[in-house]
Structure formats: structure tokens, C-alpha cells
């Protein structure tokens, strides 16, 4: 197994996956999160019971194939949390991948192996997915760029589904130039070319930062973003109830997750890690009536957020409440931090709007991401803004 000390790779035999010999990503290496099919590799979903039944796939996920056609070569499959239903990056069965930016802290999940490999400089590009925050949180924790793409913009064929109305494709890269080059391969041009130049923020979100040090680090970095634009940020109260948005996200995600993976769990009785088992049980307990009510609240959040951002707005917010928690924290502390983080992360998930997190801040010697949420379909413009700010 390569780099065993990182606990980031899946321990699979190497496969010679064909790729183009030229193209915009030629010479770059790729790690593929172990939920995307790659011909010749099994698809283990971070779960030993699944891996035991998984045959090598015969087809490759379409976006991964686009990357191969652009010249990138696959170095292997990266570890993830089991069934992708966690945000911490600690897999009961395979361990916790190493955070290259803060080795004593978690990577975040579920795209834990991918974030670890990029932050440790092992590969140039790694794929991820984001349902509740599984690209944005690891990117913030590991000092990386992370884009949650507009829901439905990038194909998720031949990919493990968790909660389909939330699931999106994402990726990590070693630098902003590589990140943008991948974006050019996997994203078509934005349909709208409206400049994004109206910055907004809300004290209702900023107050979710855990302490004064976090707030000062975030505020300084938000000013750096503001300096890129001509106009100052405007501050407003949120146009919806944040607690209602949080519970709408939790209930809709959990219900969908059980509908999607509950039959497999029921038939296999896999050994699920702490937190993951309880989340699926929560999803099993929810009725269709519960889901419909929560989905109504979710729609209200989406409509109000879309109206607030409009065609030209950018919502500036902390990606998560602080830097990554220490690996030594208790399960209870990690769970509490996860729920606190979801208060921030649920906005993009509920609305389907794209969100990019930038590695602009540092607190307690570890990275802290600062995010921009843009209008639906503004993914490439968000990457362009990130390139300008970080370049």
C-alpha cells in the first residue's frame, strides 16, 4: 500500500487505467474517491461489507473519464468515510487520514482520503463529493480550495448515491491554477455572464464562529475578498430562520439517505461506525409526511436565498465555525462540532447554489476557509474570482 502512514489510499491492487497522452491535464496525477466507478477497480464506499461483495467495475464514471481524456493519470482510489454519511474523516474500519496542513487535526469527511492526499502533496488532483459538506469542510480543514458545484450541473452517473437531491461532484487540487484547469474540463461555460460584484454578509452567520480568534481571522480574510471588489459588503439579517433551515437539511438528507441505502443496510447488516449508524436510524424513523414538511421548509430557504443573492450577488460567510477539531477529541465533541458546522454548510445544500471555500484564514496554527455562495450556475465565475484573489 502506498504511503501507509497517511491512511488515505484504498488498499487495492494497482490498475493501469488508460488515459490520453496529451491534453490540458497531461502529466498530472489523480486520486478518485472510492464512490466513483473506475474500470478495473472495486468500488468499496468506505465500508468493508460493501468491499467484500464488490467486483472490479467495467465502466468509469463519466466525469472521471473526462479527466482521463484530458491527459490525467489515475494513481489510485482514495479512502472515504463509510457510505459518505459523516463529516469528520474518521473511518472506524480504515482509520483517519492525515491532514497535511495540521497533522494533529482531522481532515474532515467524507472526502477524507482525497483531501489528505492533496494536502500532503501526493497527487495533483483528487475527486470528492459533497452532500452535507464533504468537499467544503475537508477543504477548509486542510487549507485547500473546494467547490460545491451547482446541484445537477455535473453528472453523478456510476457514483454511490447518498441523498440524491443534495449530492454533487467536487474536487481538490494542489493550487488554484490546477483547480481552474480541472474546472475547464468538467464544467461547461456558465450560461449567465453577469458579473458577480455585489457582496453581502449576515451577522446571523458570522456569529456561528466559535470564538474571538476565529472571528478575527475570518474578518481579516473577508476584508481581503472585499478589497478585490469595488464596493463594500452590505450586512443584512438572514431572510429565513437558520434553525429551520438546519432541521430541513437534516431531515431531508437523512430521509433520502435511508430511502437510498436503507435496503442495502437492512439486507447486509454492516458494522457501521459511531454516528453513522445513528444517522441512518434517524433516517429510518422519518415518515414521508416528515419529509414533505421538511422539504417545504427547504424550498422556502431556497427561494429566499436565491432572491437575496439574485443574479449578481456573492454571500461571504465562514465555511465552518473554526479550524479542524483535534483527532483526540471525544466522539461527543466531534458530533457537536459537526452539527454546529452544518448550520453554515446547510445553506448551499438546501438551495443547490454553488459555494467555493478559499484557504484564506488561519487560527490556532491551522487553516480556516472563507466561502462565497453565488447564483445557481455561477460555478466557473466563482473559480475565476478565486483565481484572482489567490493568484
Cell numbers at 106, concatenated: 482531522
Residue 228 contacts residue 389 (beta carbons within 8 Å) = yes
Cα Dmax for the chain: 58
DSSP 94: T
Q: What percent of the chain has pLDDT over 70?
A: 100
pTM of the model: 0.97
pLDDT at res. 2: 86
pLDDT at res. 354: 98
Per-residue burial over 296-328, b = 16 or more CB atoms within 10 Å of its CB, e = otherwise: ebbebbbebbbebbeeebbbbbbbbbbbbbebe
pLDDT at res. 317: 98
DSSP 88: S
210/254 Cα distance (integer angstroms): 26
Q: Is 381 helix (H, G, I), strand (E, B) or coil?
A: helix
Q: What rounded mean pLDDT belongs to the chain? A: 97
Per-residue burial over 236-267, b = 16 or more CB atoms within 10 Å of its CB, e = otherwise: eebebebeebbbbbbbbbbbbbbbbbeeebee
265/261 Cα distance (integer angstroms): 6
Q: Across the chain, where does the E strand assignment appear?
A: 29-33, 73-78, 125-130, 146-148, 168-173, 198-201, 234-235, 313-318, 355-363, 366-373
Question: Taking Cα atoms as reference points, which of 321, 338, 323 lies closest to residue 276?
Answer: 338
Instruction: Give the count of beta carbons closer than 10 Å to the beta carbon of residue 21.
Output: 9
pLDDT at res. 165: 98
In this prediction, residue 70 has a pLDDT band, given cuts at 50, 70 and 90, of very high
Q: Is the pLDDT of residue 8 over 80?
A: yes
218/347 Cα distance (integer angstroms): 18
User: Strand pairing partners for 91?
Assistant: 95
Q: Is 31 helix (H, G, I), strand (E, B) or coil?
A: strand
pLDDT at res. 191: 95
- Phi, then psi, of 286 in degrees rounded to 5: -85, 140
Q: Is the pLDDT of residue 79 over 90?
A: yes
- Phi, then psi, of 171 in degrees rounded to 5: -155, 165
Interior angle at CA 360, CA 243 and CA 119, nearest 5: 100
pLDDT at res. 391: 84
Q: Which domain holds residue 2?
A: 1-391
Which pLDDT tens digit goes with each residue over 320-370? 999 999 999 999 999 999 999 999 999 999 999 999 999 999 999 999 999
CATH number at residue 117: 3.90.1300.10
Q: Please name the residues in contact with 6: beta carbons below 8 A apart, sequence gap of 6 or more.
A: 97, 98, 116, 117, 120, 122
CA atoms within 13 A on the CB side of 195: 5
- Phi, then psi, of 126 in degrees rounded to 5: -145, 135
Residue 145 contacts residue 173 (beta carbons within 8 Å) = yes
User: Strand pairing partners for 234?
Assistant: 200
Number of domain units in the chain: 1
pLDDT at res. 270: 98
Which pLDDT tens digit goes with each residue over 100-157? 999 999 999 999 999 999 999 999 999 999 999 999 999 999 999 999 999 999 999 9
- Phi, then psi, of 54 in degrees rounded to 5: -85, 120
Q: Is the pLDDT of residue 1 over 80?
A: no
Q: Is the pLDDT of residue 194 over 90?
A: yes
pLDDT at res. 69: 98
In this prediction, residue 230 has a pLDDT band, given cuts at 50, 70 and 90, of confident
Q: Is the pLDDT of residue 226 over 80?
A: yes
CA atoms within 13 A on the CB side of 67: 32
Which pLDDT tens digit goes with each residue over 279-314? 999 999 999 999 999 999 999 999 999 999 999 999
Which pLDDT tens digit goes with each residue over 51-63? 999 999 999 999 9
DSSP assignment of 286-329, as one string? --HHHHHHHHHHHHHHHHHHHHHHTTTEEEEEESSSSSPPBTTS
User: Strand pairing partners for 356?
Assistant: 147, 372
- Percentages helix, strand, coil for the chain (3-state, rounded to 5) are 40, 15, 45
Give alpha helix (H) positions in 314-378.
Answer: 331-351
Amino acid at each position: 500500500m502506498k504511503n501507509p502512514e497517511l491512511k488515505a489510499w484504498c488498499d487495492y491492487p494497482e490498475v493501469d487505467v488508460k488515459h490520453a497522452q496529451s491534453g490540458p491535464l497531461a502529466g498530472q496525477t489523480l486520486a478518485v474517491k472510492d464512490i466513483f466507478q473506475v474500470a478495473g477497480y472495486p468500488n468499496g464506499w468506505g465500508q468493508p461489507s460493501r468491499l467484500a461483495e464488490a467486483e472490479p467495475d467495467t465502466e468509469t464514471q463519466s466525469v472521471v473519464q473526462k479527466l482521463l481524456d484530458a491527459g490525467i493519470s489515475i494513481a489510485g482510489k482514495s479512502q472515504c468515510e463509510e457510505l459518505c454519511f459523516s463529516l469528520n474523516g474518521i473511518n472506524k474500519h480504515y482509520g483517519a487520514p492525515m491532514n497535511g496542513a495540521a497533522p494533529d487535526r482531522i481532515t474532515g469527511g467524507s472526502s477524507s482520503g482525497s483531501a489528505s492526499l492533496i494536502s500532503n502533496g501526493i497527487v495533483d488532483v483528487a475527486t470528492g463529493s459533497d452532500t452535507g459538506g464533504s468537499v467544503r469542510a475537508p477543504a477548509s480543514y486542510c487549507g485547500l480550495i473546494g467547490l460545491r458545484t451547482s446541484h445537477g450541473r455535473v453528472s453523478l452517473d456510476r457514483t454511490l448515491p447518498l441523498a440524491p437531491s443534495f449530492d454533487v461532484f467536487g474536487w481538490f487540487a494542489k493550487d488554484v491554477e490546477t483547480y481552474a484547469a480541472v474546472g475547464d474540463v468538467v464544467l461547461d461555460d456558465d450560461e449567465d455572464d453577469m458579473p458577480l460584484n455585489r457582496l453581502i454578509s449576515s451577522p446571523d452567520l458570522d456569529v456561528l464562529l466559535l470564538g474571538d480568534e476565529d472571528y478575527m481571522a475570518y474578518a481579516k480574510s473577508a476584508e481581503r475578498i472585499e478589497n478585490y471588489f469595488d464596493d463594500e459588503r452590505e450586512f443584512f439579517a438572514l431572510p429565513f430562520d437558520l434553525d429551520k433551515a438546519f432541521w430541513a437539511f437534516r431531515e431531508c438528507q437523512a430521509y433520502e439517505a435511508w430511502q437510498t441505502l436503507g435496503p442495502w443496510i437492512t439486507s447486509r447488516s454492516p458494522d457501521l461506525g459511531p454516528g453513522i449508524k445513528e444517522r441512518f436510524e434517524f433516517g429510518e424513523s422519518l415518515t414521508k409526511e416528515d419529509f414533505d414538511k421538511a422539504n417545504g421548509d427547504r424550498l422556502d430557504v431556497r427561494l429566499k436565498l436565491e432572491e437575496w443573492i439574485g443574479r449578481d450577488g456573492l454571500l461571504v460567510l465562514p465555511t465552518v465555525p473554526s479550524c479542524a477539531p483535534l483527532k483526540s477529541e471525544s466522539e461527543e465533541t466531534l458530533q457537536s462540532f459537526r452539527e454546529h458546522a452544518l448550520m453554515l454548510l446547510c445553506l448551499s445544500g438546501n438551495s443547490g447554489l454553488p459555494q467555493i471555500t478559499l484557504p484564506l484564514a488561519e487560527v490556532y496554527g491551522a487553516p480556516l476557509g472563507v466561502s462565497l455562495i453565488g447564483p445557481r450556475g455561477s460555478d466557473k465565475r466563482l473559480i475565476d474570482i478565486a483565481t484572482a484573489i489567490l493568484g
